[in-house]
Amino acid sequence: MKKNQSIICILFLFLVTVCTAQQNAQYTQYMYNTQIINPAYSGSREMLSFGLLGRTQWVSVNGSPESGTFTVNSPIGLYENMGLGLSIVHDRIGPSAESNITADYAYRIDVSRNGKLSFGLKAGVDVLNIDYSELTIFDEIDPLFQNNVDNRLQPQVGIGLYFNTDRFYMGASVPNFLRTQHFDESVLEGDNVNTDDIALERLHYFLIAGYVFDLNPNLKFKPATLFKAVGGSPLQWDFSANFLFNEKFTLGASYRWSASLSALAGFQITDSLFIGMAYDYETTEIEQFSDGSYEVFLRFDIFNKSDRILTPRFF
């Protein structure tokens, strides 16, 4: 019985998403995955940096969201005052699969002794596929579900600002400000069809911030937060608190307002390689159908300078 309920639940959530607001995927380890939402982050680590993230949401719920991201960025230019990067995101939920590939560019200026302000631009393409045969449809001849969506291409253009020192960062961004349609109005014919229900890419506004405190020579503390606002959906607020022990082991917790509690852990395996993991316990009714959400993050850095890094970057 619970299995049938979970299928009904996820299909309902999918249809609500299609009809009201297209939400970008959410990440618990957003503090390590900043480039996906803010192009101005590119090059801020002052080294060639690769990131790979995989997320499975609402485990055991049929058709639940799955996300994967890949990023690479590096400082460029004679004075390394610019950053260039590539972001690839793939999301799957129920019968839909959406991918986007964007180039990220940032220009940085010194605004204080160790503070830098970056202006970022993101540009690329979004690809949407929907296979309605994966749905259990009450009316199999419903015209709304007769034609699959195959490789629907949409442009993506976004902007961002990012300020950071060696201890503090803050950023604001809109990853895509093109409000493009996912479906043609021609496929929604009839007197009872409301064209306002056609799925649109809504503007997503992000604000992130974090600070690193030295509690003692072997212990650092970094609170971080993320706000996300999108039309047609509630304001999302994430707050995390991480501790770094002996420059190697990270342990922390995160709270997503009215949604989930999370445990985070990470390990700096070498100077170049970091792995992070997160588990989300849902605080909504969907938890009775799922076994939580899991996330894994890998980061690999190649230093641009001959000197060895002395202290791992905490963001």
Predicted confidence (pLDDT) per residue in 222-242, tens digit: 999 999 998 777 889 999 999
Average pLDDT, the chain: 84
**For residue 239, which of 216, 267, 211, 276 has the smallest C-alpha distance?**
211
pTM of the model: 0.84
Distance (Å, whole) CA 88 – CA 102: 7
Residue 202 has pLDDT above 90, yes or no: no
- Res 79: pLDDT: 85
> Within 13 Å and on the Cβ side, how many CA atoms surround 246?
5
- Percent of the chain whose predicted confidence (pLDDT) is above 90: 61
- Res 180: pLDDT: 61
CATH of domain 2-302: 2.40.160.40
Predicted confidence (pLDDT) per residue in 114-153, tens digit: 899 999 999 999 999 988 777 766 666 666 666 778 888 9
Q: Report residue 94's pLDDT band, with 50, 70 and 90 as the boundaries.
A: confident
Q: Where are the domains of the chain?
A: 2-302
Residue 6 has pLDDT above 50, yes or no: no
For residues 244-254, average pLDDT = 95
Please write down the HEC assignment for all residues of 197-244: HCCECCCEEEEEEEECEEEECCEEEEEEEEEEEECCCCCEEEEEEEEE
Q: Report residue 303's pLDDT band, with 50, 70 and 90 as the boundaries.
A: confident
For residues 238-260, average pLDDT = 95
- Res 67: pLDDT: 96
